[in-house]
Structure 1
Amino acid sequence: MIKHPLLNADMNMLAATLGHTDEVTICDAGLPVPVGVQRIDLALTHGVPGFIETVKVWLASCQIEGVVMAEEFADANPAAYEALMTELDNETERSGRSISVTYLSHEAFKKRTGISRAVIRTGECTPYANVIFRSGVVF
């Protein structure tokens, strides 16, 4: 049995097959998933699992070098935005590597998910709780 916190088989397969700069979206329950992009649906009910819970597990399991999020996120959902930024700061401290942050309009963000290797849908039911992770390398 694996020792790291990621138990979901589909997410493990995704993590194991990512290459440098591949993108993965973690989103709330309402974000549309583009046709042709793999959907890993974790949503069980409202709020379960939560966005930040899912982000924490992903960060503990994968090396990232950057994130993309909607410009509207900070104003529309300050609690989730601040929690995400705290997790990114924690990851920077743990890894010793900086994480770039790019902001797009929400409409441009939704289009950008079309190049994600997968969209991981959580049960989060708060607005704009969405992030695209750009994979880094461990060497």
Structure 2
Amino acid sequence: MKKTGILNRDIATVLSQLGHTDTIVVADCGLPIPQHIKCIDLSINLGTPSLVDVVRLIIKHMEVEKITIASEIKLQNTSLHHEITSTYGNIPLDYVFHEEFKKAMSDTKAVIRTGEATPFANVMLRSGVIF
């Protein structure tokens, strides 16, 4: 049995298969996920686990070269926006409208669904390289 790192086998597998510029999405519990995209559902209750907790863990184990979030988060979820920008200010941040975000998901490798229940709480992480 694995005793360190990410214990969830589906997340560990997805992270190990990422190449440069591949993306994954960490999503709130309301984001529509297309049938063809792998969904790793961690939600157990409204708010649990939180998007912040899951993103923190993923970024600890993934080389991220860019974060993409919905521009609507700036006005409609200011606390999460502040959390993302203040914690990950060293990673380039890209804003797109929510509808554009959902369209960009069509090429993502997986969506990790959290119990987050706040507006526009979705984060796309683009894989970088470690060399």
What is the TM-score when the length of structure 2 is the normalising length?
0.95
Which residues in structure 2 correspond to 1:99-110 (within 5 Å)?
A: 99-110=91-102
Match of 2:103 among 111, 118, 125: 111
Give the C-alpha shift of residue 3 in structure 1: 2.4
Indicate the RMSD between aligned Cα atoms, in angstroms.
Answer: 1.0
What letter is aligned with 2:119? P
In structure 1, what is the Cα distance between the partners aligned to 2:130 and 2:86?
21
Name the amino acid aligned to 1:128.
Answer: F
Structure-2 residue corresponding to 1:78: 78
User: Given the alignment of the two structures, is residue 3 of structure 1 paired with residue 4 of structure 2, yes or no?
Assistant: yes
Q: Give structure 1 stretches of 5+ with no counterpart.
A: 93-98
SS in 1 for 2:88: helix
Distance 1:108 1:46 in 2: 26
Give runs of ≥4 in structure 1 deviating > 6 Å: none
- Residue 59 of structure 2 is matched in structure 1 by 59
Number of the residue aligned with 1:26: 26
One-letter identity of the residue aligned with 2:28: D
Count of residue pairs brought into register by the alignment: 130
Does the 8 Å contact 1:56/1:87 carry over to 2? no
Query: Percent of counterpart pairs with the same letter?
Result: 36
Aligned position for 1:40: 40
Name the counterpart of 2:128. 136
| Unaligned ranges ≥5, structure 2 | none
Matched residue type, 2:100: A
**What SS is found at the alignment partner of 1:60?**
helix
Are 2:123 and 1:123 aligned? Answer: no
Q: What residue number does 1:95 align with?
A: none
Post-superposition offset of 1:2: 4.2
